[in-house]
Amino acid sequence: MPGMGDAGLFEKSDIQKDENIIRLNVLTLMKMNRLFIPYLRENGGGTIVNIASTLAFAPTAGEAVYAASKAFVLSFSQALYEETKKSNVSVLTICPGVTDTDFFKSAGFELGQFKAATPESFAAFAYRSVVKKRALSIHRISNKLTALYCRLAPRKIVRKVFAAVCKTE
């Protein structure tokens, strides 16, 4: 099953779809981490990998709910990494960018100008990140540069750039 996203202006979005995105990316992720962290601690340890997104770094008009939910995944998972780092449990965050999956079709996106990564390249990257126990891993150099830009550029500029790229109107 593909991930869950939506394209378009928030005011015209399907509120049920928005709630489902939040339920999946925020509530379900939170509950699963809450269940698995104590379980893993008591049963020899392990690694939890939470999948955020490059959009987690940017307020993204046209994908407001999805990007905000992935910002939660990023912040929450990084906090859990710190909480668990001295234990036998690791909580890691991996951020893909545009990857050629059915996600975009189900969310109503056109890949257009984006050069998508293959699912296989992302899977290999994710595996290497888990083996190295990287707290935060961002797939592909273009996504790393995007995340860096989003952290360093003024928020006003980041908002405008992402709104233009995502063509909200």
Cite the active site residues.
66
Sheet holding 136-138, edge to edge: 46-51, 89-95, 136-138
Residues 73/93, Cβ–Cβ less than 8 Å:
yes
Among residues 19, 84, 82, 21, the alpha carbon closest in space to that of 53 is found at 21
For every residue of 73-138, DSSP letters joined together read HHHHHHHHHHHHTTTTEEEEEEE--SBSSTHHHHHT---TT--PBPHHHHHHHHHHHHHTT-SEEE
